[in-house]
Amino acid sequence: IAGWPVGRSRYDELSNEIRRPENHVYLSGDFTEGTHSSGAFESAMRVSRQIIAEESASASRLGVQPKAASATNDASRVSGVEKH
């Protein structure tokens, strides 16, 4: 079970550093968000949003129009499961 030491918070500046991407490396898992299983889901969604934002920014800098995707396609990319 992930836990934060006494006197620390998952919301303090040092903890925020864990959640910042570094050279396209993204940390996720319950240890990055909290001590409950929902932390794993929350961190997966956070990392997904960070990657999508980074890719969109890269596409804009290159003058590429990102392909529009439906909410279903976005969810399948995030979960890794394709629905047919």
Per-residue pLDDT band for 1 (boundaries 50, 70, 90) equals very low
51-67 CB burial, b ≥16 within 10 A, e <16: eeeeeeeeeeeeeeeee
Bridge partner residues of 22 (DSSP): 25
Share of the chain above pLDDT 70, in %: 71
pTM tops 0.85, yes or no: no
- Chain centroid to Cα 16, Å, comes to 13
Please give the pLDDT value at position 80. Answer: 54
- Please list the alpha-helical segments (H only) found in 20-82: 30-33, 38-62, 71-79
74-78 mean pLDDT: 54
Please give the pLDDT value at position 12. Answer: 82
